[in-house]
Amino acid sequence: MWIWHETRKQFYLCQFCGNLPDLNFRNEKVHIEMKKILRYWLDKGMDGIRIDALKHIYESEQLQDEPMINPAGPVKHWNFYHYYTVDQDEVYDLIKEWHQLLNEYKQKDNFTRIIMTESYSPNDILFNYYSSGTEIPTNFKLMPYNQLLNSTITDIEIRKWITEMPENATYNVVLQNHDNKRICTLYGCEFIDTMNALSLFLPGVAIVYYGGEIGMEDIPVEINYARAPMQWSNTTYAGFTDGDKNKPWIDVHPSYVTRNVEDEYNDPKSNLNFFKSVSKLRHTDTLKKGGLATYIFDQVYVLTRYLPRNENYTLIMNMGSRSQTVCLADQIPRLYGSLTVVIGSENSNFNPGNIISTDSLTLNPGASIIVTDKYATANSSSSHLYVTLEVLLLCLFIVKSCNL
């Protein structure tokens, strides 16, 4: 919208609120000043930059009026086609310009600094960010918003990004952020472990919003509901600040009394320790370098990370609202008859070391487990064929030797 500024006797453009005027990036002086700001922080050791609301940086040079979606409807931002105020082509040149600046610093110390961009845009635009110099164009495609959790939609979005992104690009995923409702508020805290496991189990970069690791909820306000102070302890203001003289600008969620880092740290079945356990798996070669296979069993979603000559890991998650029993062996090839639980969400009723049958597994709603074939033996293979490449080559060698 345009707002009149009495002192300057001019209108200025703002796309968010009146005290956030848009900068005119068609003015070279703005580019020069922004580079000064970037150099200031780079000189202080900054490892990269995150560009917020990137799609809004440029507007059409002609400043045309945008057509209304429903001409008879209200004159509101949501009732316009935003052809001229978002996703302009000049954005790519700006990314290249800042990427070049970061590379200047890399040439001095051989340390790579990254660009992360935030833009709710179609995939084709986001993939152009990659080729323009963005290492992490934030992937919001799994952000639940207000839709129901759905295994099929989740699988489609994961596959689309991984298969269509440019070669040598890095996958990333974000499930919660400051602009949207937290998972615990949308679906209940019984789903937080499962969604965290999904984020951490996928290849590439997991982008975690503060408080997600302990299951924080939104505070009951109209705006800024997901921006309450981090809940560190059960002390005043959740340990975020030390008293009334430093009172936070927004209320603490009342759940801080029992849901906080200090208490969860000492509870082996807490959301925090589940999060830490899954994070630890990311140090394995399988999760760092391995491939990804996905399977859908109604609302049970299954992801397997595999790497030759290494153990496989499989995440099994119930995204539905009812318990479900599945036969993993029906869809997953080369599967042992039994697998070992590595991690289980508290509502799964599985503990590390438990053995599951791949012929029949029941998961509670919102529950998830991660299993491995690391401890499987030939005796546990049941009727499912699982032959490693090394064994196959050995058999061929023996047959050839016998024929000599």
List of long-range contacts for 59-63, beta carbons under 8 Å, 24+ apart: 59/13, 59/22, 59/84, 59/85, 59/88, 60/84, 60/85, 60/88, 61/26
Residue with tokens 């298969």: 163
d(CA 388, CA 345): 31
List of long-range contacts for 199-202, beta carbons under 8 Å, 24+ apart: 199/173, 199/174, 199/175, 200/275, 200/278, 200/279, 200/281, 200/282, 201/278, 201/281, 201/287, 201/303, 201/305, 201/313, 201/315, 201/370, 202/158, 202/171, 202/173, 202/292, 202/303
Q: Which residues are catalytic?
A: 52, 118
Beta strands across the sheet bearing 338-344: 291-297, 300-306, 313-318, 368-372, 338-344, 355-357
- DSSP H helical ranges for 244-388: 261-265, 271-281, 285-289
Is-contact 213 175, C-beta < 8 A? no
Residue 109's closest CA among 13, 45, 61, 168? Answer: 45
Chain centroid, CA 387 distance in Å: 35
d(CA 37, CA 49): 11
Element (H or E) spanning 344, and its range? strand 338-344
